[in-house]
Amino acid sequence: MKAIKFTKAALEKLKQTDHTYRVQDDQTVGLSIEVRATPSTLKVFYAEWSNIVIDKNGKQKRWGSRRKVCRYGQKPIEAVKKVVNANLDEWKKDTSQSSSKGGQVPSQNMVKRVNVSMLIISIYVYNSYA
């Protein structure tokens, strides 16, 4: 991912293209801006970090997480940097893969119950049309 110094002039130069892309700030760890594809005109600040978990077999599992900070222009750039610097360590502590606050990864039992429920519904619907 490309990295630049986040200044008003540098961020104004980021143009929309036919695909969405992200650019990191080279001075603030974890801060990036996403420039949405046309026809959208959105630019959105995100805090990004990597999660590392050791599974029961001793293997590392990694996944990237990010949290929306605000749209470009809603807050001054220095305020966005302060928000990320102040909260990034706290956000890293939440290792769930859910985008909602305090969300949890569903347990295997819950996934099995949902799959069984969907199977029962599918059989019921199929039999009602037969």
Place of tokens 């001075």: 27
Whether the Cβ atoms of residue 33 and residue 14 lie closer than 8 Å to each other: yes
Phi, psi of 14 (to 5 degrees): -70, 115
Predicted confidence (pLDDT) per residue in 13-61, tens digit: 999 999 999 999 999 999 999 999 989 889 999 999 988 888 888 898 8
| Dihedral (CA of 111, 117, 119, 122) sign | negative
Q: Write out the residue range of the structural domain in which residue 117 sits.
A: 102-130
Please give the Cα distance from 108 to 103 (Å, whole number): 15
75 and 43 fall within a common domain: yes
Query: Which of the four pLDDT bands, split at 50, 70 and 90, describes residue 102?
Result: very low
Write out the two tokens for 129. 């049309």
Which pLDDT score, from 0 to 100, does residue 100 have?
46
Which pLDDT score, from 0 to 100, does residue 7 have?
93
111 and 78 fall within a common domain: no
More confident residue, 103 or 64: 64
126 and 64 fall within a common domain: no
Residue of 45, 48, 50 lying closest to 6 (CA atoms): 45
Residue of 1, 45, 39 lying closest to 18 (CA atoms): 39
31 and 80 fall within a common domain: yes
The CATH code of the domain that includes 40 is: 3.30.160.390
| Predicted TM-score (pTM) of this structure | 0.67
Total domain count for the chain? Answer: 2
